[in-house]
Amino acid sequence: MTTLSPVAATRRPDAGRKWPTLDLMSSAPTSSTGSGAGSDSNLRRRTRAAIIDAATSVLVEHPGASMAEIAVAAGVGRSTLHRHFADRGQLINALAEQVIEEVRQAVADAGLDTNTPREGLRRIVASYFELGPRLVIMLSEQSAAQVREEYWTQFEAADEPIVRLLEDGQRTGLFNAKVSAAWLHRTLNWLVYAGIEAIRLGELNRYDALTAVLETLEHGIMAAGPAD
């Protein structure tokens, strides 16, 4: 098992990106016609999803795992794996595409436009915990270099409403306005990753990790009471 490292925060070509890069050591289905087209398409989708799920499980623990190891974990032959993903780069980009859609859905489900900034923040943090392993892989040093630039642009656009949430909270006095919303966003992301890592390493269960992240976000590291 490889420990996530906050030191490696410079992988993506855009040096100003808000998400940390973590140090861990596709072809779309074609349409067809005929009586079996529907079942063939469904089977292809299920197989593709199974491969991505297996890759997630394998790569989060063994970032250098081979395509052959991923095929074994997915329960498919290497030829089947390569029919869906010609190489590792295609597989990583398929996973990245899935992460982007899940981030968009997480932001939508958080109801940032209808909930208070505090509630919106809590909801988005909880949603990001669900994406933990896939986010870890996409942002790992080993994978980030293979993710296409267009996906990074989409990923950061999907994440942008959270910056607006933080800005709204600053205007209402809920969030600290002495630092920029971009800094708050970066801090939020690192804390989420600290929580994901604690779960992955077995240090905390999901509930306690989520509680720790929210407590740190909302109250910082200083204990309440008179200052020394």
- Structure confidence at residue 211 (pLDDT): 95
Same fold, 40-86 and 96-219: no
Q: pLDDT by residue (tens digit) across 42-62?
A: 888 889 999 999 988 888 888
To the question of domain 40-86 being in CATH 1.10.10, the answer is yes
Task: Write down the CATH number for the domain with range 96-219.
Answer: 1.10.357.10
Annotated domain spans of the chain: 40-86, 96-219
Q: pLDDT by residue (tens digit) across 192-202?
A: 989 988 988 89
pTM of the model as a whole: 0.72
Residues 6 or more apart whose Cβ sits within 8 Å of residue 23: 2, 4, 5, 7, 8, 140, 141
Please name the amino acid found at residue 164: R
Note whether 46 and 37 are within 8 A (CB): no
